[in-house]
Amino acid sequence: MSTGIGARVKRKEDKRFTTGKGKYTDDIRNDNQAYAAFVRSTHAHANIKGIDASAALAMDGVIEVLDGHQLTGDGIGNIICGWAVTSKDGSPMNMGAWSALATSKARYVGDAIAVVIAETQAQARIAAEAVVVDYEELPAIAHVMKAMAEDAPNIHENAPGNLIYDWELGDEALADAGLASATHITTLDLTNNRLSPNPMEPRVAIATYDDAEEHYTLHTTSQNPHVARLLLSAFYQVAPENKLRVIAPDVGGGFGAKIYVYPEEITCLWASMRTNRSIKWTSDRSEAFLTDAHGRDHVTTAKMGFDDNHKIVGFKVDTVANLGAYMSLFSSSVPTYLYATLLSGQYNIQNLHCNVRTYYTNTVPVDAYRGAGRPEATYVMERMMETAARELDMDPAELRRINFIQTFPHQTPMLMAYDAGDFPKILEMAQDAADIAGFAARKTEAAGRGKLRGIGYSTFIEACGLAPSQAAGSLGAGVGLWESAEVRVNPVGSIEILTGSHSHGQGHETTFAQIVADRFDIPIESVSIVHGDTDKVQFGMGTYGSRSAPVGMSAVVKAMDKVEAKVKKIAAHTLEAAEEDIVIEGGQVKVAGTDKAMGWHEVGLAAYIAHNLPEGMEPGLKETAFFDPVNFSFPSGAFICEVEVDPDTGVTEIIKFTAADDFGTIINPMIVEGQVHGGVTQGIGQALLEQVVYDDDGQLLTGSYMDYTMPRAADIPFFDVSHHETPSPNNPLGVKGCGEAGAIGSPPAVINAITDAIGNNNLAMPATPQAVWRAIQATKSVAAE
């Protein structure tokens, strides 16, 4: 069976994961292990008047209690947002100070105030409850629309009115003129609900200081260990990079929440030095709800104008986004450069404008969560298209088709140059698979059973592998967005790939090995992937934004190019042939058209023995490459959701979900389908079930699975997934990225289906039974009038 590009290779890593042999951070226990428990604010907004740790310090097993004054006193730096967004008036964003341990003020429930270090986890937790914090309670802001009120309390001194920035993209005058010329305008008020990321493995940090070497080791649940080390070193002043090793071993899911360096990692590293102990902190699920960066939380008004031919002539979007109590690492970029840039969707729109204001509230910081900005853009776009089609009394597929971009590359007015795609084709594929022709009959049949049947579309485009570094830099990014790889051919011909990408469920140990096995025509078993350790792997940018295939694998390809060139030189020299005549196939390096050949492993051995290398050639066979893409890649798709609603209760059942995607070249269809299944499931979660709720005082009401609804198997239908490959010209493999598309494209398809079923376009996510039932009642009362 082939193990190359396009093969359904079973995941190499699953043997260890499915037999309980995975090695996660929490599985590690050091000899001098001590445990940390955090004292967290119980108020959403309060001045800290004093901290009394005397009772805690006297308790069994307690080693130390440390607070923010000691932390800042030792020179530990504030946590930063790494992307500078400039307001439209030219002023910089208002980044409020965020100390890993709050000193004078707590700004959300869960804000870390002090840490207790004890011999056992139980002792640390019990003692943390005995630390007395003297609070002076302040009025709190839990909802973003209240942050802008005249009399709203001020959360950060340097952010008057709690405004972080007021930013725009596109041309407002053009958009206004377009709308003025329109013969039909569709307007919608939309909320993108706030979500908790919920990776299966909660965050964990083990910090170990070695006083003899003055060296730190951090084992942590990170999607990007090198970025973590850079931040901890250059910005948080924990230790110089050469004195800090960051290891992210097996990581059980991230979804964005494990990109960032949080207060806990910083505090544990610093406390390890203060106590000369290895310090372990394991988040429990309650802490995860309280402290893992949340996602989404937008309030938007959108207006879209059409001419007589149903072409979009103007589109204006006004969004207010909640960034929570502090600016998390990429928080500023999510509702701007990852959102507004995609508001052209799959459509040819020239007159486009988006304004975004972001505010502080007394809630957990909000940052990238699977999709990051792109689900929010897609939700706006695709709710608008479906609603407009209904208002214009048109087939929603037809309205989309009329407006589709047909030629590539396509430059939108929102910075993006789309690489490749075939939107009519994937829409047609999805329509065929969803049996659109038979829908009317199915609707009638369902009505006979008292059920409301509806169908909804979402044709989306998204952007993966943020690039190029220079452009990102000019837009305010604090980092480059390339990726690195080293290809090490061992003397026996087996290969290790050291990648800066990080796998936390994606299956890189399989897919990265596939591209190597494919290229050198060697067994996949002889390829191993090394990642997640700053001492082993060269600097890399890590995994988020569906970048591992388009950027990470491209770096591997570039390094393989160099290896191949050297292999051919060695073989040509040994076999006394011309380099151009050398081919690599079937485990051999051959002279084409002859029976002269060396085994792949013999070339490796020759390189290391170095008895007979071409004049001037260095021994060894290992190459490094850094790949900086010229552009994003742009996966697209057409999703169709079919639902049945029970009008008596408001319960929605998803009958069928069809996903036709264009991810460019597919490395492993099985893994891609898994990513689509998972992504769509999270999208269905957002559409039907998930919602973070704070009460007006900023207390988190959805602090456990008793109140925060995760999608369960029974909520999810069988998926119909198909692919159409238009390779991206922007990377050597033609891949586009598939990790987030499901979560990006699916929410509007689900809501469009429900609104179709109930005949009311005013329905917010999550469409819980109660929300749907209310929308049905509203439709009835309108009908009765």
State the minimum distance, in angstroms, from the CB of residue 122 to another protein: 7
CB of 706 to another protein, least distance (A): 4
Q: Give the DSSP letter of residue 690.
A: -
CB atoms within 10 A of CB 785: 5
> Distance between CA 108 and CA 458 in Å, rounded?
36
- Nearer to another protein (CB atom), residue 142 or residue 434: 142
To another protein, the closest distance from the beta carbon of 143 in angstroms equals: 14
Nearer to another protein, 600 or 694 (CB): 694
Cα(775)–Cα(758) distance, rounded to whole angstroms? 8
Shortest reach from residue 697's CB to another protein, in Å: 15
- Closer residue to another protein (CB): 646 or 725: 646
- Which tokens belong to 251? 């990581």
Whole-number Å distance between alpha carbons of 434 and 458:
13
Supply the minimum distance, in Å, between the C-beta of residue 601 and another protein.
51
Smallest gap, in angstroms, from Cβ of residue 450 to another protein? 12
CB 382 within 8 A of CB 748: yes
CA of 142: how far to CAs of 158, 357, 439, 697, 707, in Å? 19, 17, 43, 7, 18
State in angstroms the smallest separation of the CB of 768 from another protein.
6
With respect to another protein, which residue has the nearer C-beta, 130 or 567? 130
In angstroms, what is the minimal distance from the CB of 288 to another protein? Answer: 14
CB of 708 vs another protein, minimal distance in Å: 6
Cβ proximity to another protein: between 153 and 769 the closer is 769
Which one, of 254, 474, 276, lies nearest residue 368 by Cα?
254
Nearer Cβ to another protein (237/709):
709
- Shorter beta-carbon distance to another protein: residue 122 or 578: 122
Q: Give 325's DSSP letter.
A: S
**Interaction site with another protein (CB under 8 A):** 122, 125-126, 129, 286, 648-649, 689, 693, 701-702, 705-710, 768-770, 773-774
According to DSSP H, which parts of 153-307 are helical?
A: 172-181, 225-230, 263-275, 285-291
Q: What Cα–Cα distance (Å) separates residue 524 from each residue in 155, 496, 587, 645?
A: 55, 11, 11, 48
One-letter amino acid for residue 501 of the chain: S
Q: Which residues contact 430 (CB under 8 A, 6 or more apart)?
A: 457, 637, 638, 639, 640, 658, 659, 660, 722
Three-class secondary structure assignment of 16-42: HHHCCCCCEHHHCCCCCEEEEEEEECC
Cα 390 from Cα 386, distance rounded (Å): 6
Indicate the SS3 state at residue 629.
Answer: coil
If you write DSSP's letter for every residue of 76-145 in order, what string do you get?
Answer: PPPP--SB--B-TTSPBP-PPP--SS-SSEE-STT-EEEEEEESSHHHHHHHHHH-EEEEEE-----SHH
Task: Specify the residue, 596 or 774, whose C-beta has the smaller distance to another protein.
Answer: 774
**Rounded Cα gap, residues 510 and 520, in angstroms:** 15
Contact 559, 499 (CB under 8 A): no
C-beta closer to another protein: residue 276 or 286: 286
Q: Which is nearer to another protein, 202 or 542 (CB)?
A: 202
What are the C-alpha distances in Å from 485 to residues 231, 550, 554, 654? Answer: 21, 13, 9, 42
CA atoms of 497 and 526, how far apart (whole Å):
11
Comparing CB distances to another protein, the nearer of 617 and 710 is: 710
Residue 337 in tokens:
């450069």
Cβ nearer to another protein, comparing 332 with 652: 652
Minimum CB separation of residue 775 from another protein in Å reads: 12
Q: Are 425 and 697 in contact (CB under 8 A)?
A: no
Q: Of 136 and 695, which CB lies nearer to another protein in the complex structure?
A: 695
CA dihedral 236, 238, 244, 248 (to 10 degrees): -60
Burial class (CB in 10 A: 0-12, 13-18, 19+), 764: middle
* Closest approach of another protein to the CB of residue 412, in Å: 38
CB of 650 to another protein, least distance (A): 8
Choice between 273 and 688, CB closer to another protein = 688
Residue 292 beta carbon to another protein: minimum distance, rounded to whole angstroms:
18
Residue whose structure tokens are 């230790």: 239
- Residue 458, token pair as written in the block: 């979402």
Q: What CA–CA distance (Å, rounded) separates 150 from 405?
A: 44
Phi, psi of 13, deg, nearest 5 = -75, -15
Smallest gap from residue 118 Cβ to another protein (A):
14
Q: Is 162 exposed, middle or buried (0-12, 13-18, 19+ CB in 10 A)?
A: buried
Q: Least Å distance between CB 449 and another protein?
A: 14
Shortest separation between residue 326's beta carbon and another protein, angstroms: 26
Residue from 542, 519, 478 nearest 258 by CA: 542
Q: Is 103 or 702 the residue whose CB approaches another protein more closely?
A: 702
Q: By the 8 A CB rule, do 108 and 14 touch?
A: no
The phi, psi pair for 642, rounded to 5°, reads -120, 130
Q: How far is the CB of 129 from another protein (least distance, A)?
A: 7
Q: How far is the CB of 780 from another protein (least distance, A)?
A: 13
| 62 vs 464 by CB, closer to another protein | 62
Cβ-based nearer residue to another protein, 744 or 758: 758
Helix (H) or strand (E) holding 639: strand 636-645
**Cβ closer to another protein: 457 or 708?**
708
Task: Return the SS3 of 342.
Answer: helix
